[in-house]
Copies of this chain bind each other. A is one copy, B any other.
Amino acid sequence: MSIITIVGAGMMGTAIGYPAAGNGHEIRLVGTPLDDAIIDHAIATHTHLTMKRPIPEGFKFYHFSELEKAMDGAELIVSGVSSFGVEWFSETMLPLIPEDMPILGVTKGMVNLPDGSLISYPEYYRTKHPGRRMRLCAVGGPCTSYELADHDPTEVCFCGDEPALLRWIKSLFECDYYHISLSTDVRGVECAVAMKNAYALGVTLAVGLAEKRDGKIGSLHYNSQAALFGQSAREMKRLLSYMGAREDSLMLGIGDLYVTVYGGRTRKIGTLLGRGFTFDEAMEELKGVTLESIVIATRSARAVKRKIALGELRAEDFPLLMHIYEIIVEKKPVHVPWAQFETESIG
């Protein structure tokens, strides 16, 4: 039995503890300073305030003020913060974690550098703490927290630099409903499963366009969704190939694109935009909903635009991402460039 300390008591931070708790490990769930209500609720009811599920045996709950106690004897720290907690985790938490302690991050996202490069959060943390040893691993792949908590069959990938460490962490979490691939392609895995947020927004434009056409909310058409899904796969492949990502990472991103088109908040904004809402109107409509997808879409598009300006990528290879940029940054109306998706594979 191992002790796993999860910092960040949001839905995904909590849900990843379920398979490990089921394997008999002790899960110490520590709220960030923003999670006090979640921790109070968990202590009082042994259920999760926002995920609205019972929390399994094997979990113990800690306020952030009890961090030291929660980390005492831990063999693995899980970063359960959302992408909006990355700076906090970097500045406040990382210096508190011993250099030889393995860290597994569930935070999905990536960062664009001024030269147009896209890097993963583990890489980003290293830029913030040069010289510090950090045994950073991360989770990627199609996984919604509430389905994981419900023991639905789920396939993810743990990535990191140390194969033996990855295999050990896998042994803590692997169970009959949570299946874990391993990869040392950290940038490829993390950027693939981040950039799908941009493209899920792209695919779901077709949901709103169909509703607008039919004048009927809930009307579903699939040729147009499939065209956008296929184009998303093409553009993700082009960008990931350019970045040197492995093919396995692309496939993970394609599975993750699928779940994001169906399972999440990104679909809501894509649908509203497709219906004809301006970006600002759509954001107003969804007030209060955190839209990491917008952050990621903007970063992806800015990175690719920079690489295009540098002559390293071609705009005609990314017509969908360029249109997403027009919509969310330049506030232009939706006008999907269908004809630009055509390819010629001759010879």
Contacts and interface: CB of A to CB of B under 8 A. Distances in A.
Interface of A: 141-144, 147-148, 150, 152-155, 157, 163, 166, 176-177, 179-185, 206, 209-210, 213, 220-227, 229-231, 233-234, 237, 246-249, 251-252, 254-256, 258-259, 262-263, 336, 338-339, 341-347
A240 to B, nearest CB: 12
B251 A143 contact: no
B181 A144 contact: no
Contacts of A246: 345
Contacts of A185: 345
A238 to B, nearest CB: 10
Given A262-B222, A339-B179, A346-B163, A153 B227 contact: yes
A146 B79 CA distance: 48
A148 to B, nearest CB: 7
Contacts of A143: 223
A55 B339 CA distance: 25
A148 B223 contact: yes
Given A155-B230, A233-B251, A258 B225 contact: yes
A227 B247 contact: no
A4 B221 CA distance: 28
Contacts of A166: 346
Nearest to A180: B342
B227 A338 contact: no
Given A251-B233, A251-B234, A345-B246, A155 B225 contact: no
Given A230-B254, A248-B345, 4 more contacts: A176-B338, A223-B263, A230-B252, A237-B251
A203 B258 CA distance: 11
Contacts of A263: 222-223, 226
Contacts of A142: 222-223, 226-227, 230
B144 A223 contact: yes
Contact of A254 (B155, B179, B254): B254
Contact of A183 (B144, B179, B254, B346): B346
5 contacts: A144-B222, A147-B222, A181-B344, A231-B255, A233-B254
Contacts of A344: 181-183
